[in-house]
Structures are given as C-alpha cells and as structure tokens.
Chains A and B, each alone.
Chain A
Amino acid sequence: MKLKLICGVAAIAAVTALPVLSARADLFHTKLPKDREILHALNRLTFGPRPDDDAMVKKMGLKKWIDQQLHPDRIQENPVLAAKLAPLESLSMKNAELAANYPPPQLVVAIATGRAPLPDDPEKRAVLEHLAERYKNKISKKGVEQSLIPPAENVPLTDLLSADEIRIMKKGTPEERAETLRTMPAEKLQKVIFALPEGGRKGLFAYAPPDVRRKMLLTAAPQQVLAHDLLEGKLYRAIYSERQLDEVLTDFWFNHFNIYLDKGADRYLVTSYERDAIRPYVLGNFRQMLEATAKSPAMLFYLDNWQSVSPDTAKRGGKGAKRARGLNENYARELLELHTLGVDGGYTQKDIIEVARCFTGWTIKEPYRGAGFDFNPRVHDNGQKVVLGVTIPAGGGIEDGLKVLDIVSHHPSTAHFIATKLTQRFVAANAPASLVDAMAKTFLQKDGDLREVMRTMLASKEFWSQSAYQAKVKSPLEMVASAVRATGADVTFAFGLATKIADLGEPLYKKQEPTGYSNSSAEWVNSAALLARMNFALALTQNKLPGVKVDSKKFEGDPAAVAKSLLFTDASAQTRHAIERGQAEKKEPAVIAGLVIGSPEFQRR
C-alpha cells in the first residue's frame, strides 16, 4: 500500500508539477450562488475577510460596499491604522529629507569629512554626529581608504548596565526585556544602543518597543530605517486599512511598475515613488500614473534612464561630454514590454531604440541627495523619431517623451495587456477573452480611467461566476495578511511578518527584476513555500511570532466551528476528517486553528 503511494509520486507529479492553475473554464457563465457573493468579493477586493466583515457588508449591502471601495476617499479610515503608522515618520518625508535624515554610508562619510550637513532634527543629528565621530576615529587609526563605519562602540556594557539589567537583556522573557528598555532613561538608552554589539541588537530587536527599535536601526545603519518603515507601513495598511481595495490596487500597480528597493539610490527613492507616483492613481488615470512613474527618480534610477544620453553628446563637447556613454535602452524596453504594450504588443527593436532616443535627457538631479526629476536638453537627442509608426518631429525636447507616453497609453495593446493583468489578479489565471475585451474597451473609451475599468470587471458575469470562486492561490503577502486578519491578531511588530512573507518566497519590495512578481500561482506553489505556510500558520495561532498577539481563547470549542470561523465557510470534509483524526488525542485549540490556517482551503481566495 505504502509502496504504491511512492510509485504514484511520479505519475501524479507529472500531472501536477506544472500545475494547471486555471479555473474550470466551463463555469465562467455559471452564476455563483448568492450566499457566496460576499465572501467572494471580500476575497478579491480585500486582503482577506476579518471576523465581522461579512455582517458589515450584509448590513451595508454588497453593491454599496463595492461602490465605497471604488471611492476610498469616502471611507472613514481606521483610527488603529493611524496610530500604527504614526511612528513611521519617513513615510511622509520628501526625497531630500529622507536622504538627509537617513543617510546611506557614503553620506555619513561625507558628513564626517565636512562635505555634507547634519540633519536638523536633534535626535537624528545626535546619532549622526556620533556615527560621524565613530568614523573619524577609525580613519585616524586605519587611514582613509576604508569607508566602513564601525558597527558598534567599544564601551563595555558593564559600564552602562547593572548586572541585573544585563541578565534580563540576555536571558529575560520578551516582556521583561521590552519593559527594561521601555523604562530606561533616554540618555542611558541611547548609550546602551550605541554600545550593543550586532548580535545583541538582533536579539533585542523583535522585543523592543517600536521607538527603541527605530533608534537601534538608526544607530546601526540609518538607511535601514527606510526599508523598515516601508515594510511596516505596507503591512499595517494591508491588515488594518478600511480602504482595502485601494491597498490591494496599490500592491498590484507597484508590482506592475516594479522597482527593486536594494538598487543603489532606490533604497531611499522607493518611499516617495509608491506614495506619489503609484498610490494617487490606482483608481485614477493610467496615462497620469505612467507619466508619474516615468518622471520619478526611483524609476529613472532603477531602469538607468537617468544615464541615457544622445550618442552625439560626446561629439557636442561641453560639460558631461567626457563621461557621456550614449543611449541606454533599459527603460524604453521595459516601458513597452512590461508597463504598456506587453511583450507581444507589436513593437520592434527599432521602436525600442526610437523610444530610448525620445527619453534621452530625462534624468535626476543629484540622485544620492534626493533631488527630483530633471530634463537636460544638452544630452537630449533632438532628431526626428518614428515610434510605432507615428512620426515625432525633430526639436521636440521633453515633449518627445511625453508624446511616447501618449502613444503607448492609448494603444489597444496596452488596453488589452492591462485588462489581462487585472483579470489575472482579480478573476482567474485564464479569464475568458470576453471579459478582457470588455475591460480593454472601457480602458480605451474612458481614456484609461482605471476606476471605470474596475467597474466593468465588477459588473461582469465572469467575475461573479463559479469558475472565479476560490480560483486563485493566495500570494505570500495575501496569505500572511489574510491569516492575521482572519485571526484578528494585534500586530505591533509588522517587520517580523515581513520576514515571514520572504520565507514564503516573495520578499516585499525585493523583486529584483522589473517584471514584478508573477500573477500566476505557479511561482509560489512549491514545497519550501508550502512548508513555510504551514509553519507560519502554526506559529501565528500559538503566539510564537514576536509582536503578533492572537487571542487563542476564541479557538476553543468544536473544531468544525473554529474552522468555519477562520475560513468563513465550511471546511471540506477531508480537512475536517484530517483534523479530527490527527488531533483526536490532544485537542489544543491554538494548534487546530493553525491547522485550519495551513489547510488547502485557506491557501485559496
């Protein structure tokens, strides 16, 4: 019997290893039963239902709720979210402030050598003065070449802390450690943070109160605060925002116009990119979002357009001529392939070069100091160009690039490509052409109005069909956020959840390629990720994740009822039997809840 099982591996795997993740295509015209509509809508338009959402939508009426989600400004935001976001101050700073307050190592060195000013904020000023001092001491000992800032002070902790305090920091419970840090006078705390070795910092990090955590990061490497704030901000919003569709769409569009956080200056440019170039337009106009991304320093840096200059620049002489390297096709290619027309959208290599010529001179003022978009006419290719059959006359200057954005944002291939991607995210991997065509038509007729495109989708029979229901496997972010929402957990350390999402295979803001993460589940359904999902589920419900608190009392009682309370529908007979059989001897409510969160049903939305 068992032998047969293993023999079967090959056969079954042959069918499933390249999972056909498509929904049953024959049921796109079969209407979803009425009593499943709310759950379906919550699964698609939010990061997963919370315990009271079903009742809330029922009370409001599904149609009205959807309409509200399409107008996020009309939704009163959750005060809990505002409180969680308040300490993440970098999220509201402009690029120049971000660079000054959370400088990269090069800028700390510049400060130390008097080539850059200190920030105005007294707390950051103090920390940076300290780091600069640390660096200067090192220079005097080792010579100037080594641009590394020593990671920690050489002050023994015993000079700062009592034996008892050291014991708690090393061996105390998380609560004891947090309490010790919380009650420490500010000056002493800062000294202790300066003196903590890297290992010690890591050990305390998850348990420290949020403001102490930020101090630790600021002291260790100021720039890390930015990634920390971005990750926490994204997760708090996904978990707590009432404007759920707005968050889901911000995630979708950031991924569509993906930028890798760890590429050089993008470490601090992504904050404003998401906030100013993506978020305002997700239910607005596509052409405007496209231009915002095209002009954003984050994109100009990520796809190298800031360095793309007319090949003639060197011949023209003058400033910059010596370093001029000519055309860089990177942005032009991805603009056509990934942002607008799609890979089969009908462009040629010649079009790529012509588009690249149009965007020469679109650059960044001082990318490492946080200035903004700049058009440099001196390096722009002013000749005539032909893009997708449209002639752009010579001498257009910055208008050339804008003209390209006009052409591609009104192109039928773009309408089709955007519609297809939206259906992959919101309907199914293989939504019928009828739906894609209808959405593409709206896109063209309504001049790229994305709210209208969403409306077309949400009014379609395909969206409300049997085939769309539970057709998608949750992405890593969706899995983690939906589990937290379903269990009603209180999160005070969202950064920890971000590392879990990375374990599941899709670290936030860390997709290196401009493609963004795939909308197809084939990318994240694999053995390592599946185990990571199950382990995350068990850790969450048993309160083993630092800074995430679940009230496990509510999982007491009949396992079938517990499953229903987390899945918002009945668990399958197979899952219920597995839990009943497996947990017959020792019924631990938190474990049962973890098993439900790790079940096949919970992986679907």
Chain B
Amino acid sequence: MFDRRVFLKSSALAMFGIGSAPHWLARAAEGVERRKKILVAIFQRGAADGLNVVVPYGDPSYYTLRPNIAIPKNDVIELDGFFGLHPSLQALKPIFDAKQLAIVEAVGSPDPTRSHFDAQDYMESGTPGRKATLDGWLNRALPSEKAPISPIRAVSLGANLSRTLRGTNPAIAVSNLNEFQIRDTQSSNTFEGMYEGTLDKVLKGTGRETFDAVKILQSVQKEKYTPAGSAQYPNGRFGQSMMQIARLIKADAGMEVAFADLGGWDTHVNEVGAKPTQGQLANLLTEFGNSLGAFYRDLGDRMQDVIVVTMSEFGRTAKENGNRGTDHGHANCMFVMGGGVNGGKVYGKWPGLDKEQLYEGRDLNLTTDFREVLGDLVTRHLGTRNLARVFPNFEAPASMMQIVA
C-alpha cells in the first residue's frame, strides 16, 4: 500500500535534493526515529449541549428539567448504566466498547462567563479569566526540540490559524491540502524568492513557513488519498478536516498536533426535533460522530500514536427553554479517543441535577477543570513535562485524572 519510507524519500528529494535532507527527515526515512505521539484537538463552537450528548438518563431530574427535549431512555445508546450516548452518535459506540474512547463528565472552564467569545478565548488560550494571553495552549504544549523540526509540526484546519495553535512554535493553517500550493511552479519559485528576500519581517516569516510546508505537502498531494478500513467521512467541512488530518498523520511528515473545529452548537431554538434523531443537535452529532468514527477506522493501527480530544466553550442550561432549546450554561462533557486511552468508561464526578446541585441554580456544576484532562494528554501522551508553561496558574489536583493508559 502506502510505503512510508518511499514517501519520505521522495519528499526529502523534492525538498532538499539528494544528500542534504534535514536530520528529522533522514531519520524518519530510515525508519529509526521513534514515532512521535500526535494530539488532535477538536473545538465544538457555540457551546454544545453536553446533557443531550452524553445523556444522564439515570438522573430523574434530567427528565423533570427537560419535558420536551430530553432524550428518552429507550433511545439512548447504553454506556454504563447511568449515562447513554445520543442516538445520533452510533459511530462512537464500538470505539467505547473497544475501550479506546473515554468520556469526561461535568468538565469545563471554571471561569463563570457565559459569553461565547470570552469562553472560547479562554479555552483556546488555556488561561481562563486572562485575556492578555497571546498564544494558544496547544502551541505551548509542543515538546521542545533540539533537533530540526518539521515545518508542518502544528496544523490548523481552516482558512485561519486557530487561537489554540497560535504561538512561538511554527504553525500552519491549511484549508485544503490539495490547494496548499501555487499551481504554477515557476511562479511559486518566484514568490518564494520574493518572500525569502523581503525586508518585511512579518511576511518573511510567514512566507518561509508557508513555502517549507508547501514542499513537504507536494509529495502528499501527489498521492490520491483513499481512506483505509472503508471509512466514509461526511462531506461537510468537519468531516473533510478530519480526513485531511488522517492523511497528514499517515504521511509521516512530522505533524505532532492538529486542530479542527465545528460550529453551530448554539441551540437556543429547535435543538431537538419531533424525534431525538431530528433537529439541529441530531444533525450536528451525526456529522461529529461519523467524522470521528471514520477517522478511527481510517487510521486503524495508527490510532496507537494518536489521541483526539473534544471540547466546547461551556455547556447549556439544565432546564429547557420555551423554544425547544437551551441557553448558555456551565459544565459540559469531553471525549478522549485513541489507542493509548483508558477508555470504555465515563470519568468525572457527577454533581447531580437537583436545584441545589446546579451551578447558580441553573447549570450543570463543574467537577473537573478542562485543563486537568488536557494536562494529562500533554504530559503523558505528548511528553511535555512542564505543565506550568502550558497552563500557567493552573493548580493541578494532587492526583490527576489518568485517562492516558
């Protein structure tokens, strides 16, 4: 099938000519480099309604609070006798059963804001309550390297470099891998020379990152990509983002962290349709679940090196509103998927949904700080030791949740 060494050799040749490939590429081509761990972060923008995603069907208050939009017990996909998945997340069930999917409940940012913008900003910067942070947590989470590094070490899917990946480590934004190029080679070279020579420091830096990445990705583009395991990615932007991340992982071109997002979770109105599998939330979860499911199938054994983690800026009100929807809330749930995950289990202390158990009397209370989950992935999966640099001012609990096996 796809020969990694051949690919790496060809890309090394394309980029540097014989005999002058950088160390990391040469090492990788020899197949002696330790395989780097990869972390993929997914952001559900708009505040996903965690209570209807991972349904606490065992908590009777859930049904009292949501007479019209609760997911009936008979419709949920059973997980552990208390929680069940929304029926549109069928694709995730086998992964949970294979113990490669863990769920964290009642998790999120401790900051009380219910502003999408602030809360996304805080979660992406990794510094709740602090607006002056310039870089994102996933950029800081990259292990420091003495050896030369790949120009596509950090990849953000979409036309903008996500806040999560901004920072001092080089990071590129890619909307579409196949279009990450200047089609006419002569013009491409001319542009490269122009940006290489310019005295404009900002554009010179971005130009260099860009053309280095272009060369690496040329070899990826040459191969037509066919997902393995008969995986079928949804056609939407998110499914295509996940497919491109899988493609980059399998290309072994040095990617260590990636970011993708999926918007539309702000379901104030018509969150749930006539049936639980209808309505805005069901549509989004189908795209979300099927994309993650396809990614898992596609990567197959490579999932051993990969962890995917999902997050959303805050949860939604425990009680439904008057429009078959929910408003801005507090705690939420997160998914952690990967070969090296202690999965098949729901983590986190359930705070309960009775009036006095709710945050400010209305929202699911927070029992786990999202940085504890990410902290575990950063330290024990990516191998970055200095957690205080990634999450400054975060006081990690004495015994951290250990989701990484």
Contacts and interface: CB of A to CB of B under 8 A. Distances in A.
Contacts of A526: 156, 160-161, 172-173, 206
B204 interface: yes
Contacts of A598: 191
Given A13-B170, A530-B210, A473 B202 contact: yes
Interface in A492-529: 502-505, 512-515, 521-529
Contacts of B187: 534, 538, 582, 591, 594-595
A553 to B, nearest CB: 20
A583 B214 CA distance: 20
Interface of A is mostly: helix
B173 to A, nearest CB: 4
B180 A523 contact: no
A6 interface: yes
A502 B159 contact: yes
Contacts of A80: none
A118 interface: no
A535 B178 CA distance: 13
Contact of B204 (A145, A522, A578, A600): A600
Interface stretch (B15-23, B47-55, B340-348): B15-23
Interface in B67-123: 114-117, 120
Given A18-B167, A343-B131, A578-B194, A513 B204 contact: no
A325 B214 CA distance: 52
A525 B202 contact: yes
Interface stretch (A391-399, A405-413, A569-577): A569-577
A532 B159 contact: yes
Contacts, number: 201
Contact of A528 (B120, B173, B196, B200): B173
B189 A582 contact: yes
A17 interface: yes
Interface of B is mostly: loop
B148 A10 contact: yes
A18 B205 CA distance: 10
Contacts of A193: none
A299 interface: no
A527 B172 contact: yes
B321 A325 contact: yes
A527 B213 contact: yes
Contacts of A591: 184, 186-187
A131 B208 CA distance: 52
B175 interface: yes
A17 B168 contact: yes
Nearest to A16: B205
A528 B180 contact: yes
A528 B206 CA distance: 10
B397 interface: no
A56 interface: no
Contact of B207 (A20, A325, A530, A572): A530
Give the bracket for the number of chain B residues in contact with chain A.
Answer: 35 or more
Interface string A1-35: 11100110110111111111100000000000000
Interface in A251-288: 264
B174 A513 contact: no
Nearest to B188: A534
Contacts of B45: 512
Contacts of A3: 16, 20-22
The listed residue with most A CB atoms (<10 A of its CB), out of B17, B167, B175, B263, is B175
A599 to B, nearest CB: 6
A413 to B, nearest CB: 16
Contact of B194 (A13, A19, A595): A595
Contacts of B191: 534, 578, 595, 598
Interface string B207-219: 1111011100000
Interface in B149-170: 149, 151, 156, 158-161, 166-170
A513 B117 contact: yes
A517 to B, nearest CB: 10
B268 interface: yes
A16 B200 CA distance: 11
Contacts of B190: 578-579, 581-583, 595
A575 B168 contact: no
A381 interface: no
A527 B174 contact: yes
A583 to B, nearest CB: 6
Contacts of A535: 179, 182-183
Contact of A515 (B21, B117, B173, B263): B117
7 contacts: A3-B16, A145-B274, A325-B322, A527-B172, A535-B179, A582-B189, A600-B198
Interface of B: 16-17, 20-22, 45, 114-117, 120, 131, 134-135, 145, 148-149, 151, 156, 158-161, 166-175, 179-184, 186-187, 189-191, 193-210, 212-214, 263, 268-269, 274, 321-322, 327
The 5 A-B residue pairs with the shortest CB-CB distance in the complex, in nearest-first order:
A16-B205, A582-B190, A574-B197, A13-B170, A578-B193
